[in-house]
Amino acid sequence: MPLVIAIDGPAASGKGTLAKRLATHYGLPHLDTGLLYRAVAFALIQSGLSLEDRAAAARAAETLDAGSLTDTRLRDRAMGEAASQISAVPEVRAALLAWQRRFAADPAGAVLDGRDIGTVVCPAASVKLFITASSLERARRRHRELAGRGEAASLEGILADIEARDARDSSRSAAPLRMADDAVRLDTTELDAAAAFDEARAIIERARATIG
């Protein structure tokens, strides 16, 4: 039976780092679904179009090229904010849903991380994890990440952005951020990447033993 690992959680909770480590450990393909929304937002910005142009956003999502996901500019802080706006557009989410499900249908399985993987994209996933951490700790992590890339940003500003994004992601009408009923919550506030990986792997192995 394919091993599909669905990982959800808010921004800077550590889900992306964890997902990559788990994919490597289990030899599975990994998809950071947030990059899809960043790529759509980037395409609009590059074309001089408004992020509020729903028709243009839907077209960009429908014609998304997988090769565009490797552009390093998608990791910029501004793209994260733009992606949060784009992800609230139902037409964009609908266009990208089939894309994500095709990825998850790999015969061996897959690891996907995002905000609606366990609830919408892969509701029948083998294992569902909801990764979280305090908003302050998440802001500290993002601050360190940006500083490491040479991007200037204040901790206070990042914290405000994260809290605003949490509110936007949780209150949107289309696939809001929430923990699936059968997901396991993993709070990484006090955990480093290695400890979070060990905890997640233990959860996955218990689930696999139950599945058989």
Residue 47 DSSP SS3: coil
Sheet strands (E) in 9-126: 30-32, 109-114
Q: Are 73 and 79 in contact (CB under 8 A)?
A: yes
What pTM was computed for the model?
A: 0.91
Strands (E), 106-212: 109-114, 127-132, 184-187
pLDDT at res. 151: 82
Q: Are 100 and 36 in contact (CB under 8 A)?
A: yes
39 vs 47: CA distance, rounded Å: 12
* Across 115-129, 140-154, 179-193, least confident range: 140-154
Return d(Cα 152, Cα 136) in angstroms, integer: 18
Locate 133 and state its tokens: 């951490």
Q: Which long-range contacts (CB under 8 A, 24 or more apart) does 192-199 make?
A: 193/14, 193/17, 193/18, 193/21, 196/14, 196/17, 196/18, 196/131, 197/18, 197/21, 197/22, 197/25
Query: Which residues contribute to the annotated binding site for ATP?
Result: 9-17
pLDDT at 170: 87
133-185 confidence digits (pLDDT tens): 999 999 999 999 888 888 888 999 999 999 998 888 888 777 788 999 999 99
Domains of the chain, start order: 3-211 (3.40.50.300)
Q: Pick out the residues of the known binding site.
A: 9-17
pLDDT at 212: 57
Cβ neighbours of residue 150 closer than 8 Å, sequence gap 6 or more:
none
